[in-house]
Amino acid sequence: MMKTTESRFSKCMYFSSGALARKMEKLAIESWKKIGLSPSHAYLLLMVLEDPGMQPGALADELQLSPSTITRLIEKLEEKKLVIRTTEGKLTNVYPTPRAKELLPQMKQCLADFNERFGSVLGKEESTRLIQNINRITDKL
């Protein structure tokens, strides 16, 4: 397979960031497969476990996903009996179920495995620097 640096589009931010995103997605999917969740479902569930009662809008904001995507993710987690939604007036809150709480140690292990996988390729320092740079650039855009 051709290296990204050898591509005719290697100087294009869109191409390069997309190539990186696809490779990171593949690593993340492999890491989270052990518990049967996609990375997006897993990160949403981790947030709800850390902050029970979060509202969908706050989840969308922090995960940087559209409200409709958050709704679909929550519905899937409800089907798996991992979250429940409650409505209080106009507010909807999302809570983890006992089953989700039981999954937490395995979820933390999946997250550690993911970080270890890309960290072992890039090295801890470069991984940390890359994450910081990506976040800084994303915030600027």
Element (DSSP H or E) covering residue 39: helix 39-50
The 10s digit of each residue's pLDDT in 24-69 is: 999 999 999 999 999 999 999 999 999 999 999 999 999 999 999 9
The chain-wide mean pLDDT, for the chain, equals 92
What the chain holds in terms of domains, given with CATH numbers, is 17-140 (1.10.10.10)
Q: Which residues pair with 92 in a beta bridge?
A: 87
Length of the chain: 141
Work out whether the CA dihedral 93, 96, 98, 101 comes out positive or negative. Answer: negative
